[in-house]
Chain A
Amino acid sequence: MLTEYPRLRSVLGQATTIAITLLGLLLLTFIIGRMMPADPVRAIVGEDASRETYEQVFNQLGLDRPVWEQFLRYLGDVFSGDFGTSIRTGQPVINDILHVMPATIELATLAILIGAGLGVPLGVIAAVNKDRWPDHVVRVFSLFGHSMPIFWTGMIALIIFYAKLGWVGGSGRMSQFYIGMVPDRTGFLLIDSLLAGQMDVFWSAINHLILPAALLGYSSSAYITRMTRSFMLDQLGQEYMTTARVKGLSKRQTIWHHAFGNIKVQLVTIVALAYGGLLEGAVLIETVFGWPGFGQYLTNNLIIGDMNAVMTCVLIVGVIFIALNLLSDLLYRVFDPRTK
């Protein structure tokens, strides 16, 4: 029990931190929601409603109450799972978001696989060849990915690979022709089409997914490359690398088995954080590729000013970020023998 004590304390401490951060998140979204100049009552009752109707709705929304009371009410609503209804669809916002989320997760997951698949080896190559030409090439390549406005690169890629070369599919998750052919079980089109045994749909989905995912992955690989390089540089100078060489291991074996083994845990945490960063790119790339996911949902509602939907999206991104941070922290503890 005594040995358990510090661990228990750190878990409790972390839980408090998360709770406070969550509360702050809610406060922030609440404030932003209140800040908007557009009148929420007018949005509901319309321009030419009578004064009485206006007052009635005003009171109904609780806008006559003090601000802190409104915040508490907002908290209560959120914790009971009520995020308000969307003006556009009339559905509860949270249902809408849950419906579009799988498309984004599918996109982001493939993107992170590409980003890590590209970034990690490049980072290792750069570190091993520090200050020689492969290092410089990798640096410019990854800075390039970091510098491109992804919505623009998306368009250029569409012009080239879709319009001119016809190698990949255009907008959306699959060809128009296939829409509605696969029953929606998980929301993940790749899984659903496999479950239904529709290989045509599966390939069409891959065809549409590959370009936006590759672009997102490339842009996120910059960060992964840089971190991998710096982690590897730390390890390559370590004395145990000499030990391994003295034992008769080749340079390649020492790099992959010994040095790389030491950065795996750090890499997992980095990739988890990069995954959260992808959501940002997803907002832009989904707009360009007509991808019916979270990002498009957010921008559509921004344009029509549906604040319930927008604020819930922002809140969810915040929660995902906190969760990913927590996850990476957890992975670190579980997988690093030094923390045991």
Chain B
Amino acid sequence: MTDLPLPTRRIPGPLLALRNILTFLIRQPTSAFGLIVLAVLILTAIFAPLIATHDPYVQDLNNVLQAPGNGHLFGTDELGRDIFSRLVWGARITLTIIFLVTIVVGPLGLLVGTTSGYFGGRFDTVMMRITDIFLSFPSLILSLAFVAALGPSLNNAIIAIGLTSWPPIARLARAETMTFRKADYIAAARLQGASPMRIILKSIVPMCLPSVMIRLTLNMATVILTAAGLGFLGLGAQPPLPEWGAMIATGRRYMIDSWWLVTFPGLAILTVSLAFNLLGDGLRDALDPKQMNRR
């Protein structure tokens, strides 16, 4: 054993897998587009103060509803605010929504899925019934109901979306758990006297994590559209926040004469959600073993 030449720098397994997946994604034009848009979105959100040409909240009532050009790349809105700068700052809101929904949905779905998959029996039946009940509503309508009850605000919209989008994750985590539950190393851990909580956290959750992450990516497009829809209905982000859906809602009154008010925020939503969809599609291909073999 000792005389085996040790590799000088070994890349750990998961990182290597990640690199392979990224290489695969970047090779496909469609998923490469998704990756690039996502990168641009993140950079825009981080450097928003540097990229934005104007303050997104400063009104200029002498300069309302200006067409694109003339110092305002995408024109100005009904209060004379620069639309481009508002879009740039809006990227931060979009990312916040994605981030917060992920940290609500991921753990919640994992918790429900792994525990019901691990314990099985009556507990499983009850949990899956509850999941089914949540699944029997279209997510936007259930989010609407939650927001209606909690009161309209960006945070409540995020909570509502989180509360409605965990069931598919739970289903997935449960299915994965069922396949691991019978594995020898789980039995070994149990024989060592590890508590169920410890087994789930240390052995099962890490195994489910990759597929859950993929599923979360696939859901992002829906999350973005739902959040924008809530913003549009006036139930999400409230003015003067530069949330893209809310911008469309206020621009609606002026849309016939000032098309730029609704066009640019809409394009932003479309681009980001398309990017996530393309990325998700690519990820599904990248992780489908049948497809990989054929290459």
Contact = CB atoms under 8 A, between A and B. Distances in A.
B129 A21 contact: yes
Given A144-B274, A277-B138, A279-B138, A307 B148 contact: yes
Interface string A146-179: 1111011101101100010000000000000000
6 contacts: A21-B129, A147-B225, A152-B248, A159-B256, A302-B235, A305-B148
A149 B256 CA distance: 19
Contacts of B30: 136, 139-140
Contacts, number: 141
A159 B259 contact: yes
A18 to B, nearest CB: 10
A317 B137 contact: yes
Contacts of A37: 149-151
Contacts of B262: 152, 155-156
B141 A21 contact: no
B132 interface: yes
- Sorting the interface of chain B by its residue count into under 10, 10 to 19, 20 to 34 or 35 or more gives 35 or more
Contacts of A310: 144-145, 148
A25 interface: yes
Contact of A143 (B259, B265, B277): B277
A152 B274 contact: no
Interface string B218-261: 00010001001100111100000000010010001001100100
B149 A32 contact: yes
Nearest to A311: B145
Interface of A: 20-21, 24-25, 28-29, 32-33, 35-38, 136, 139-140, 143-144, 146-149, 151-153, 155-156, 158-159, 163, 276-277, 279-280, 283-284, 287-288, 298-299, 302-303, 305, 307, 310-311, 313-314, 317-318, 321-322, 325
Contacts of A284: 140, 229, 232-233
A280 B138 contact: yes
A283 B235 contact: no
A322 B136 CA distance: 6
A325 B248 CA distance: 34
Nearest to B261: A155
Contacts of B144: 283, 298-299, 302, 310, 314
Give the 8 A-B CB pairs with smallest separation, nearest first: A152-B266, A280-B138, A24-B133, A147-B274, A36-B149, A147-B273, A35-B149, A314-B145
A163 B252 CA distance: 14
Interface of B: 30, 129-130, 132-134, 136-142, 144-151, 221, 225, 228-229, 232-235, 245, 248, 252, 255-256, 259, 262-263, 265-266, 269-270, 273-274, 276-278, 281
A305 B145 CA distance: 10
Interface SS, A side:
helix
Nearest to A31: B149
A27 B134 CA distance: 11
A130 B132 CA distance: 34
A24 B221 CA distance: 28
A268 B225 CA distance: 27
Given A149-B225, A307-B149, 12 more contacts: A32-B146, A32-B148, A32-B149, A140-B30, A143-B277, A149-B245, A151-B228, A156-B263, A159-B256, A284-B229, A299-B233, A302-B233
Nearest to A152: B266
B274 A321 contact: no
Contacts of A152: 228, 232, 248, 262, 265-266, 269-270
B270 A147 contact: yes
